[in-house]
Chain A
Amino acid sequence: MAEYRAVDESLGVSDIAFGLTTLYSGSQVVVELRGEVDVLTAATFSCVLDALFEAGGRDIVVDAAELEFIDASGLGVIGPMSSRLRDSGGVLTIRSPSPMVRKVLNVTEMGDLIEHRTTDPTSAVLGPEQRSGDASALVTDAIPETDASDAVPLPAFPAGNDVIDAALRLVTSLARATIGGADGVSVSLTRHGQLTTVAASDETIAQMDRDQYATGEGPCLSAAAEGHWFHVESLADESRWPQFVPRAIKDGIASILSTPLIVSSRPVGALNIYSNTDHAFGPLDQELAALFASEASSILAEARTDMTTDEVAQRLREALTTRKVIANAQGVIMGQQGISADAAYANLRQTAKRTGVNVSEAAAAVLGSVLRSDLIGQVRR
């Protein structure tokens, strides 16, 4: 209990230890990091980088000018993403790291990712402690503002259908990262009367979809046509779709979960999750698949109504980042107090109300104080 009170008291505005803002400049995407990236916040950072990559971002700059601390989990995000970008003709650059972050990057042989240009002289003089004084700026920045007036245009994303596709690719990459046992995810949509794959996590998966279109059968087609989900627990034991199944087995696929996308009560496509293992998907995976399918459906439905498609894509990216922050804080409170998820949420909400901040700000403060006490613990040890 005492521990929680410490969290509660630290809900001051200067205690948010992590912030992230994404800016677009031509084809370049700049991810500004503030505060501390460690095991708790690395997930958010990773999620954002994945989404940018999936959405076609190939020139990604991580602006570290206000990054105070990065640990192995943060480096574990940067390293693989840098290789992934390099493999696809892109580049990841780290801009303006503090001397401490620079040292960590050099030690881990990631120093060559640092951008070659004159760094701001103040960043060489001011240590992280001095800079934390202006941390109040993090409060509004930690969570992307919902106000559309500061929405940055998205030149990195083409207009029209392509923007919807970019948002769907984001859902695909998140589903791939979230659902245990998923080796690949795709979204197929009916366009001009024909099913088309608009997002696929890799070429094998795109081929799986094409095999179904070519044979005119398969769980994806069935889900999109009939509007309910099709779960193939083990392709080896599957008797439906006799033409498609052997092709899938040949490509190493062992189980498939296809969930329909529904717009205005009508199936318009499917979210397909593939695994190389049989019986890979349990009830929780089915629930998550349904959630991601409903997100994809919402993107399609919203695209027809009062928001433009790039607003939808932008809002979705912001919303997913915020969700992650709240869910992480919820987890921390559950762990500290031994209470249920709903009770932890209510707790967060009451704290937010009492202190006059948003739930997302209260969540960021909870994470911030945990990080801070961890760091203090490390220093004292």
Chain B
Amino acid sequence: MTEPRSTLERARIEVGLSHSELWFRYFELGGMSTALEVEAYLYDALTPTDHDRDMVATALNERFAELGGDHPIAYTDDGDLDSIAR
């Protein structure tokens, strides 16, 4: 991926989700990592699999959409570079 992992943490702060709410959303999407592991992904302390990372990104993107925005965080399997966060 071209973006640093901390993009996820910056996005989390931007959309105003607590770590636990983000974990619930990630879990709801089918995520298998614990809350602590997800927090570690955001702080770059652990490297998630692409699938896990995309699931966290999905949870954040859906929150952006709720707030009336686009899906600014790109997925690892995205062909379309336009959508990568600036």
> Which residues of chain A have a CB within 8 Å of any CB of chain B?
146, 291, 294-295, 297-298, 301-302, 305-307, 315-316, 318-319, 322-323, 326-327, 330, 342, 345-346, 349, 353, 356, 358-360
B35 contacts which chain A residues (CB < 8 A)? 298, 301-302
Q: Are B71 and A345 in contact (CB under 8 A)?
A: no
A327 contacts which chain B residues (CB < 8 A)? 30
B21 contacts which chain A residues (CB < 8 A)? 307
Which chain A residue has the least Cβ–Cβ distance from B61? A353
Given A298-B34, A315-B24, A318-B28, 19 more A-B residue pairs with CB atoms under 8 Å apart are: A146-B28, A298-B35, A301-B35, A301-B36, A302-B20, A302-B35, A316-B24, A319-B27, A319-B28, A323-B27, A323-B28, A326-B29, A326-B30, A346-B75, A349-B54, A349-B58, A353-B71, A356-B65, A360-B29
> Beyond A353-B61, A353-B71, A356-B65, is A306–B20 a contact (Cβ under 8 Å)?
yes
- A147 → B minimal CB distance (Å): 8
- A47 → B minimal CB distance (Å): 14
Q: Are A358 and B62 in contact (CB under 8 A)?
A: yes
- B68 → A minimal CB distance (Å): 11
Which chain B residue has the least Cβ–Cβ distance from A346? B77
Contact with A along B1-40 (1 / 0, CB 8 A): 0000000000000000010110111011110101110000
> Beyond A294-B34, A353-B71, is A359–B29 a contact (Cβ under 8 Å)?
yes
Q: Are B61 and A323 in contact (CB under 8 A)?
A: no
Q: Are A359 and B20 in contact (CB under 8 A)?
A: no
Q: How many A-B residue pairs have CB under 8 A?
A: 55
- B18 → A minimal CB distance (Å): 5
> Beyond A307-B20, A323-B27, A359-B58, is A291–B75 a contact (Cβ under 8 Å)?
no
Complex CA gap A294/B34 in Å reads 6
Which chain B residue has the least Cβ–Cβ distance from A315? B24
- A22 → B minimal CB distance (Å): 16
Q: Are B23 and A298 in contact (CB under 8 A)?
A: yes
- B15 → A minimal CB distance (Å): 13
Complex CA gap A222/B84 in Å reads 49
What are 21 A-B contacts defined by CB distance under 8 Å?
A146-B24, A146-B25, A146-B28, A294-B34, A297-B34, A298-B34, A301-B35, A307-B18, A307-B20, A307-B21, A319-B24, A319-B27, A323-B27, A330-B30, A345-B51, A346-B77, A349-B54, A353-B61, A358-B65, A359-B29, A359-B58
Complex CA gap A318/B54 in Å reads 21
Complex CA gap A327/B32 in Å reads 12
Query: Residue among B23, B27, B28 with the most chain A CB within 10 A?
Result: B28
A345 contacts which chain B residues (CB < 8 A)? 30, 51
B51 contacts which chain A residues (CB < 8 A)? 342, 345
- B34 → A minimal CB distance (Å): 5
A306 contacts which chain B residues (CB < 8 A)? 18, 20
B18 contacts which chain A residues (CB < 8 A)? 306-307
Which chain B residue has the least Cβ–Cβ distance from A327? B30
Complex CA gap A306/B18 in Å reads 8
Complex CA gap A297/B36 in Å reads 10
Complex CA gap A360/B25 in Å reads 11
A346 touches which of B23, B27, B36, B54 (Cβ 8 Å) = B54
> Beyond A323-B30, A359-B29, is A305–B20 a contact (Cβ under 8 Å)?
yes
State the 6 A-B residue pairs at the shortest beta-carbon distance, nearest first. Answer: A319-B28, A294-B34, A322-B28, A315-B24, A298-B35, A342-B51
